[in-house]
Structure 1
Amino acid sequence: IALIAAAEQAMFTKGLEIHVRQRTMKKEIEALDDAEAILAYKVGMADR
């Protein structure tokens, strides 16, 4: 049971990290003002 709870917590935490990153990326992309900047934008998690 503790293992299941730990797995659920890990999935929730990772999901929250992904959600926050998506919101951050959306704000960053909205701030880009030309095609070159958009094409140069690095997609993904910041730590990878």
Structure 2
Amino acid sequence: MPVAKPAQPIRLFTTLLSGHGHRVKLFLSLLDLPFEIVELDMKAGLLAA
């Protein structure tokens, strides 16, 4: 079954050591879906990008 490509890249908010973020990145790559990674700096605060 073909996967519909989104009109814009999926924005993945994650931290450097997040296993969950790595897993999502892996599956997005396997599905050949466009995405951009936004690294969050947890030391600067939860929503600081």
Report the TM-score, using the length of structure 2 for normalisation: 0.35
Larger Rg: 1
Q: State TM-score, norm by structure 1.
A: 0.35
Q: Which has the higher contact order (CA 8 A, sep 6+)?
A: 2
The structure richer in helix per residue is 1
* Structure number with higher strand proportion: 2
